[in-house]
Every structure is written in structure tokens, then in C-alpha cells.
């Protein structure tokens, strides 16, 4: 599998987990839902009763009808980043942004007959209890697994609080032995950062940030330390196809590379402007650095790239970014679903040209079609950082 194919597959998983079909991931801040609501929905109540009493078909069972009403309200609100997320997707998204989850340490796949198969993580709880690669999953805590069971539903069933037990039934090929396992959930990391030494230039360390999660700043520091020990002298922060994540994690990641100054300003409706600054010199403020961006670099990842550009800390290479400058608050609802509401805007002081509506403009513009082959952006970064040619 080529590098671009792998990244596409990874990003598809991230997009599913982050419910990005409704819009690019936001600079998220988590809140609790408020209970105040209107009690005079006379037209809505009348329409409900008419449909209930006169419709040929039965009304959808709860909570499907209620969810449909919420989606209609959100659609009428007419903001692309204000979205309603059902419980299963909300749980998976929360895990992604946290950078870890309580689970049994398995990857889900499909066997030759398109049945759900388990692939244990080495050293994880499932492998330690005897689950083997290719075991077919039959049930999870009483949930029967069929061809119609959504992958998100299975993932959510396997996950839960660290230290709690989950019971799974599997069928083991080739003789279809039915086995039962009771496995204690452990904390399973969900890395947001991967890194490697560039195969064509051993002095270049490449750090790919796939989503901006709570764990991202620490992972970036770990990446630089490991790459330095392996001989890297210059570094590349790859933010291509990074749809964003947590606002505070984006700010803290930018702080790693800066000595002083402002990172972003933000403002909620009717509130004073808030300023986020570098609080102390970052541990990575002196490393030689370039940043890769493209049209899918959005939200929190744009905060990182924009702050480094505004402070002339690193040059951006690639194509203009998405241009998402809003913040969504996540309100948890009683059933585990959530409402993500656009509540504020942010901007980067002293950034030229302006960011809003156009995205960040790279210092070195390189448009690619995403096909396999030499990575022109990485080659340009190596030339820029090592002086090996004209980028």
C-alpha cells in the first residue's frame, strides 16, 4: 500500500469518527447541556398529534423521532458546523479527541465472507486472554453481531470505562469452535501523531499530525526526541489532511515551537476578546522547521500553521488551507448524544494576508493531485531546510 493510500484509509477512519460528513472538525470545547427550553411548541405538538393519529404508518420509535426533530432544527439554524451527533458517534469522537479510550485492544476487520474478525493488538488485554487473529466476533455483552451491525456500534460496545469487564463470544476458524472471553478493559492509546526519518534524506525527520487531540503536544515532543536520537537535524510538521480537533491542543502545540507572543484571539457573541499567548519559551523553539499544508488543513491545525507563519517561525509549503475560523462548543445530552454549536470566532494577530474566508496562503505554493509517486512537498521542505537545491 502506497503512502497516499494508507493516509487516505487512515483519514477515512478519522472522518467517520469525527462525523465530518456534516462539516470539518472544529476547535472544540466541551460543555454541559442546559435544561432551559420552550414549553409552547403548539404547532409542533399539533403536527405530532396529527401524524400520530392519522398517519398510515406508525411513528418511528424513540429516540429516532426525537433525533429527527433535532436534525430539522439544526438544519433550519443553517450553520454548516452546528451539528447533532448520536451517542455512538459521539463516544467514538470523544475517544479520538482524548487520544485514548477504555477497550480490549483489538482492531476490527472482515474475513473472506465479510464477517467481523478480530485482530488483537500485541500485548493488549484481548491477546493476553487468548483472543487470536481472525477470530470471528459473534456478540458483545449480549449484542448480536450481524452483517447489518454498524462498525461504530461494535466499536462502542467493545469500549467502556477502564477496569470494567466486557464479555465477547467468538467463533474460531477453521473448525468454528465457539469460545467465550471475559476481558477487563484497559487504557488503549489512540496516537494522533506518527513520525519517521525520510527515506531519501536521513537528516530530515517527518512528523505527521493526523488529528489535533489532547495528547498531540506530548506526542510531538516525543516524536522530535526520537527522531533526533535517530539522526534528524531538521524537521517537517505535516498537517496535510488534518481536519482539526481540540482548540486548546492546537494552541498548546503551537506553543511548543514559539518563544513569545500571541497565538490567537477569540471572541464569543457579546463577550470581550480573549487572547492566548505563549506563556514561556517552548521546548522546540529552536529546531529547524517547515510545515506542510493543503486544502484539507482546517481549524485547529490552521491555528498551529498560522501561528508559526505569523511569527515567521516556519515557512508553509503546499496549497491554501480550508479557512475555518469558528469554534464549536460540545454540549453533552442526557442520552449520550451531543450538540455541537458554533459559538465563537478566532483569528491570528499580525497574520498577512488575512486568514478569514481564504485560508492560510503558503510561502511556497505546490499543488499536487494526490497520486502516488515522489512527495514533492517533502522534497521541497528538504531543499529549504538543508539547502540542497531550489524548493
Q: What is the per-residue DSSP string for 40-89?
A: --HHHHHHHHHHHHH-SSPPPPTTHHHHHHHHHHHHHHT-TT-EEE-HHH
Instruction: Report the percent of the chain where pLDDT is more than 70.
Output: 87
Indicate if the pLDDT at residue 19 is higher than 80. no
Q: pLDDT band at residue 85, thresholds of 50, 70 and 90?
A: very high
Kind and range of the H or E run holding 117: strand 116-120
Residue 289, CA atoms < 13 Å, CB-side half-sphere:
23
Q: Are 328 and 299 in contact (CB under 8 A)?
A: no
Query: Of the given ranges (88-92, 132-136, 201-205, 334-338), which has the lowest mean pLDDT?
Result: 88-92
Q: Are 247 and 268 in contact (CB under 8 A)?
A: no
Query: Of the given ranges (60-69, 156-165, 253-262), which has the lowest mean pLDDT?
Result: 60-69
Q: pLDDT band at residue 39, thresholds of 50, 70 and 90?
A: low
- CATH dotted code for 100-189: 2.30.42.10
Q: pLDDT band at residue 34, thresholds of 50, 70 and 90?
A: very low
- CATH dotted code for 1-87+191-391: 3.90.226.10
Q: pLDDT band at residue 90, thresholds of 50, 70 and 90?
A: confident
Instruction: Supply the pLDDT for residue 190.
Output: 84
**101 alpha carbon, distance to own chain's centre:** 14
10/208 Cα distance (integer angstroms): 12
Task: Tell which phi-psi region holds residue 18, choosing left (phi > 0), alpha (psi between -120 and 50) or beta.
Answer: alpha
User: Cell numbers 462539516 correspond to what residue?
Assistant: 23
Query: Of the given ranges (38-42, 116-120, 160-164), which has the lowest mean pLDDT?
Result: 38-42
Where in the sequence of the chain do the CATH 2.30.42.10 domains occur? 100-189
Mean pLDDT, residues 334-347: 94
Through-space distance between the first and last CA atoms of the chain, rounded to whole angstroms: 28
Indicate if the pLDDT at residue 140 is higher than 60. yes
Task: Tell which phi-psi region holds residue 359, choosing left (phi > 0), alpha (psi between -120 and 50) or beta.
Answer: left
Where in the sequence of the chain do the CATH 3.90.226.10 domains occur? 1-87+191-391
Instruction: Supply the pLDDT for residue 97.
Output: 84
Q: Which residues pair with 194 in a beta bridge?
A: 208
Mean pLDDT, residues 150-173: 93
Q: Which of 300, 228, 307 is nearest to 263 (CA)?
A: 307
Q: Are 384 and 316 in contact (CB under 8 A)?
A: no
Instruction: Supply the pLDDT for residue 216.
Output: 96
Instruction: Supply the pLDDT for residue 22.
Output: 36
Residue range 268-327, pLDDT digits in tens: 999 999 999 999 999 999 999 999 999 999 999 999 999 999 999 999 999 999 999 999
Indicate if the pLDDT at residue 4 is higher than 50. no
Kind and range of the H or E run holding 234: strand 234-238
Using CB atoms within 10 A of its CB, is residue 54 exposed (0-12), middle (13-18) or buried (19+)? exposed
Contacts of 91 (CB under 8 A, 6+ apart): 156, 159, 336
Indicate if the pLDDT at residue 233 is higher than 50. yes
Indicate if the pLDDT at residue 38 is higher than 90. no
Q: What is the DSSP letter of 20?
A: G
Q: pLDDT band at residue 23, thresholds of 50, 70 and 90?
A: very low
Amino acid at each position: 500500500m502506497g503512502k497516499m493510500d494508507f493516509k487516505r484509509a487512515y483519514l477515512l477512519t478519522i472522518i467517520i469518527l469525527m462525523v465530518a460528513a456534516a462539516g470539518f472538525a472544529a476547535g472544540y470545547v466541551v460543555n454541559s447541556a442546559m435544561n432551559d427550553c420552550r414549553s409552547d411548541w403548539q404547532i409542533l405538538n399539533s403536527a405530532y398529534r396529527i401524524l400520530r393519529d392519522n398517519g398510515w404508518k406508525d411513528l418511528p420509535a424513540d429516540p429516532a423521532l426525537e433525533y429527527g426533530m433535532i436534525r430539522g432544527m439544526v438544519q433550519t439554524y443553517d450553520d454548516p458546523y452546528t451539528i447533532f451527533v448520536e451517542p455512538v458517534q459521539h463516544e467514538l469522537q470523544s475517544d479520538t479527541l482524548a487520544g485514548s479510550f477504555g477497550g480490549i485492544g483489538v482492531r476490527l476487520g472482515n474475513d473472506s465472507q465479510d464477517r467481523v474478525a478480530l485482530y488483537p493488538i500485541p500485548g493488549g488485554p484481548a491477546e493476553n486472554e487468548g483472543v487470536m487473529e481472525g477470530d470471528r466476533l459473534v456478540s458483545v455483552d449480549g449484542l448480536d453481531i450481524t452483517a447489518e451491525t454498524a462498525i461504530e456500534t461494535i466499536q462502542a460496545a467493545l469500549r467502556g470505562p477502564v477496569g470494567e469487564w466486557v464479555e465477547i463470544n467468538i467463533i474460531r476458524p477453521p473448525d468454528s469452535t465457539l469460545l467465550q472471553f471475559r476481558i477487563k478493559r484497559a487504557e488503549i492509546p489512540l496516537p494522533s501523531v506518527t513520525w519517521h526519518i525520510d527515506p531519501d534524506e536521513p537528516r530530515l525527520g517527518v512528523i505527521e499530525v493526523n488529528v489535533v487531540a489532547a495528547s498531540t503536544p506530548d506526542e510531538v515532543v516525543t516524536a522530535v526526541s526520537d527522531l533526533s536520537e535517530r539522526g534528524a537535524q531538521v524537521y517537517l510538521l505535516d498537517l496535510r489532511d488534518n481536519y482539526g480537533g481540540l482548540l486548546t491542543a492546537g494552541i498548546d502545540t503551537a506553543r511548543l515551537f514559539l518563544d513569545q507572543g500571541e497565538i490567537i484571539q477569540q471572541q464569543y457573541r457579546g463577550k470581550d476578546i480573549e487572547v492566548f499567548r505563549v506563556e514561556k519559551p517552548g521546548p522546540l523553539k529552536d529546531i529547524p522547521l517547515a510545515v506542510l499544508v493543503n486544502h484539507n488543513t482546517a481549524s485547529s491545525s490552521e491555528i498551529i500553521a498560522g501561528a508559526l507563519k505569523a511569527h515567521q517561525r516556519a515557512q508553509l509549503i503546499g496549497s491554501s488551507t480550508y479557512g475555518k475560523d469558528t469554534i464549536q462548543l460540545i454540549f453533552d445530552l442526557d442520552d449520550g448524544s451531543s450538540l455541537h454549536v458554533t459559538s465563537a470566532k478566532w483569528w491570528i494577530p499580525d497574520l498577512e494576508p488575512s486568514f478569514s474566508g481564504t485560508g492560510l496562503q503558503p510561502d511556497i505554493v505546490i499543488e499536487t493531485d494526490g497520486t502516488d509517486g515522489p512527495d514533492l512537498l517533502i522534497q521541497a521542505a528538504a531543499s529549504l531546510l538543508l539547502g540542497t537545491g531550489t524548493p
